[in-house]
């Protein structure tokens, strides 16, 4: 393990932790972690049809709006990662900026959301693999599978891949980083080439983005209502950039590397993903084709129409690669968050979940547990696809809420003059300076607004009956309620840095306010 200097150890001493993970991730691997979680090709190809079907071409303005809001959040996270690039970053940041209960709540929401997200991402394999080879449709008629066969096969493919991501993560962060970086390299090249090829085949001008084109007519709220629904397609893509910081304890020079990785990840995703979306609309042979707004058509359908010869197949392979590394990154981030919370004895069986394998220098038990839970969630999709859709949708809301539990306390610290720390500017680390207050306010307002928009009860999004329509409140209430029940009954009495992970130095953590304890 490469030793880090005290000035750049990511502030572990302030949390009272000793270094126990393999610090070997470089600059590109850190950037790749953030990019693969956002996953330009996975998100855009999986959700384009939803945005287009609800609000038409002009829905793409939501891509710009979401970027501005998420950039404000990312800038806050960059400042935090310049000070505390630690495992389970969102959990530890909200804990140190807010309080123990705020930190635990954000960590619990982020963790459960990440596991559900892993299940959702691997389902995208079903949308692409059978297109490449009919043999990937292992259940039913490959040419025309029934809805049940489609769902069952999706679970089989997803399960196989989750087993793979579990094994890779268990074998160590070096292997994970190598595979992830290679996959992201392929994804970025493919994404740029897709944008270029779509761009040289444009069939209409940009005026298409300045017309409602009849969408929203006769609906409640008119086009604005339709646009707010369609904006979910963009909101569901541009998050997860904090993964670069969550791997901070395994990154060389994390206080300088993590902020740059976060910035580059969100910028690359916005520019390249936006180019694909814009040029796809401008190059589509027929925008009135109903299949563009259907789940089995969408962006893949446009690419297959525009690309010539074997190019469409090649790029579908690249999409599969993107989905693969995205699921790997989501699994990795969930593992680091589990480890971070377990290290504080903030989860059941904390000592076991926080155990680091001495050979691979990675927590293996969380990798296996998360994999098993994600596969179990996948099975729900076979008999209850509507409930699965609701769960995957509210998982995004939970992540936005977890982010808000960071930016909110951070803003409070700014108003009290307690943020940013002086050592950021003095040490040449990233800080927003005088722009910090304004950006932080935007980040908080954005988080509140987007959470409300995502959670708003819409039958068109969440389906029926009422408990699905109000799913954001029902399911999040149940998930958070069960977690808080454990926290209130047992957790709050035992949370504190496990002795096996406590720093050996006698200095007590001044800001984390944690006590050493062992699991009962």
Residues 329/180, Cβ–Cβ less than 8 Å: yes
Q: What is the pLDDT of residue 6?
A: 46
Do the domain assignments include residue 434?
yes
SS3 content of the chain, % helix, strand, coil (to 5): 70, 0, 25
Residue 144 within a domain: yes
Q: How many domains does the chain have?
A: 1
Q: How far apart are CA 77 and CA 298, in angstroms?
A: 33
Residue 481's domain comprises 20-490
The CATH number for 46's domain is: 1.20.1740.10
96-152: per-residue pLDDT in tens? 999 999 999 999 999 999 999 999 999 889 888 998 899 999 998 877 888 888 889
Query: Do residues 25 and 250 make contact, with C-beta atoms less than 8 angstroms apart?
Result: yes
For residue 251, being part of any structural domain is answered with yes
pTM of the model: 0.92
Angle at alpha carbon of residue 234, lines to 127 and 62, rounded to 5°: 140
In a domain, 498, yes or no: no
Tell me, what's the pLDDT at 3?
Answer: 44
Residue matched to tokens 């409070």 = 412
- Of the chain, the percentage scoring pLDDT greater than 70 comes to 95
Among positive and negative, which fits the CA dihedral 200, 205, 211, 212?
A: negative
Whole-number Cα distances in Å, 241 to 79, 90, 215 = 13, 11, 32
Do the domain assignments include residue 512? no
Q: Which residue has the tokens 């470089």?
A: 26
Continuous H helices in 84-170: 89-97, 100-122, 124-132, 147-170
**Backbone region of residue 240 per phi and psi (left: phi > 0; alpha: psi in -120 to 50; beta: other values):** left
Is residue 136 included in any domain, yes or no? yes
- 1 lies in some domain: no
Segment-wise mean pLDDT, segments of 10 residues, the chain, 520 residues = 49 86 94 94 91 96 98 98 95 96 97 96 89 90 83 93 97 96 96 94 94 88 93 94 94 95 97 97 95 90 84 87 96 97 95 95 96 94 81 93 98 97 95 97 98 92 91 95 95 90 62 38
Q: Which residues pair with 517 in a beta bridge?
A: 498
Kindly state whether residue 61 falls inside one of the protein's structural domains: yes
């Amino acid at each position: 393990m490469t030793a880090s200097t005290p000035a750049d150890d990511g502030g572990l001493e302030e949390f009272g932790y000793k270094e126990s993970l393999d610090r070997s991730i470089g600059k590109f691997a850190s950037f790749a972690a953030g990019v693969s979680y956002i996953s330009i090709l996975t998100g855009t190809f999986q959700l384009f049809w939803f945005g287009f079907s609800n609000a038409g071409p002009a829905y793409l303005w939501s891509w710009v709006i979401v970027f501005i809001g998420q950039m404000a959040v990312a800038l806050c996270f960059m400042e935090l990662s310049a000070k505390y690039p630690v495992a389970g970053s969102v959990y530890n940041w909200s804990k140190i900026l807010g309080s123990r209960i705020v930190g635990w709540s954000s960590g619990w929401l982020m963790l459960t959301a990440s596991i559900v997200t892993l299940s959702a991402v691997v389902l995208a394999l079903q949308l692409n693999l059978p297109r490449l080879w009919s043999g990937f449709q292992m259940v039913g008629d490959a040419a025309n599978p029934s809805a049940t066969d489609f769902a069952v096969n999706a679970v089989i493919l997803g399960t196989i891949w989750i087993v793979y991501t579990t094994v890779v993560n268990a074998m160590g962060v070096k292997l994970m980083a190598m595979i992830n970086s290679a996959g992201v390299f392929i994804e970025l090249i493919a994404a740029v080439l897709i944008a270029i090829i779509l761009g040289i085949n444009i069939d209409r001008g940009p005026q298409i983005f300045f017309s409602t084109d009849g969408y929203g007519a006769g609906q409640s709220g008119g086009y604005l209502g339709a646009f707010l629904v369609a904006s979910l397609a963009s909101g569901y893509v541009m998050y997860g950039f904090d993964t670069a910081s969550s791997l901070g304890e395994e990154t060389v020079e994390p206080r300088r590397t993590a902020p740059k990785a976060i910035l580059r990840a969100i910028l690359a995703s916005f520019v390249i993903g936006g180019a694909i979306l814009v040029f796809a609309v401008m190059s589509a042979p027929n925008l009135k084709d109903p299949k563009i707004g259907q789940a089995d058509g969408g962006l893949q359908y446009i690419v297959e129409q525009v690309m010539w010869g074997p190019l469409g197949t090649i790029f579908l392979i690249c999409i599969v690669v993107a989905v693969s590394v995205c699921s790997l990154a989501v699994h990795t981030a969930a593992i680091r968050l589990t480890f971070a919370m377990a290290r504080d004895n903030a989860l059941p069986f904390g000592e076991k979940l926080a155990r680091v394998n001495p050979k691979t220098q990675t927590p293996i038990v969380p990798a296996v547990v998360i994999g098993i839970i994600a596969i179990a969630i996948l099975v729900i999709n076979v008999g209850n696809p509507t409930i699965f859709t609701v769960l995957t949708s509210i998982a995004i809301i939970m992540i936005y809420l977890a982010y808000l539990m960071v930016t909110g306390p951070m803003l409070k610290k700014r108003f009290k003059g307690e943020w940013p720390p002086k050592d950021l500017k003095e040490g040449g680390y990233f800080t927003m300076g005088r722009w910090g207050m304004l950006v932080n306010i935007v980040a908080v307002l954005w988080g509140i607004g987007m959470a409300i928009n995502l959670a708003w009860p819409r039958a068109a999004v969440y389906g029926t009956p009422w408990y699905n329509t109000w799913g954001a409140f029902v399911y999040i209430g149940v998930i958070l309620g069960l977690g808080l029940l454990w926290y209130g009954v047992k957790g709050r009495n035992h949370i504190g840095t496990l002795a096996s992970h406590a720093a050996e130095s006698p200095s007590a953590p001044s800001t984390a306010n944690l006590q050493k304890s062992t699991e009962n």
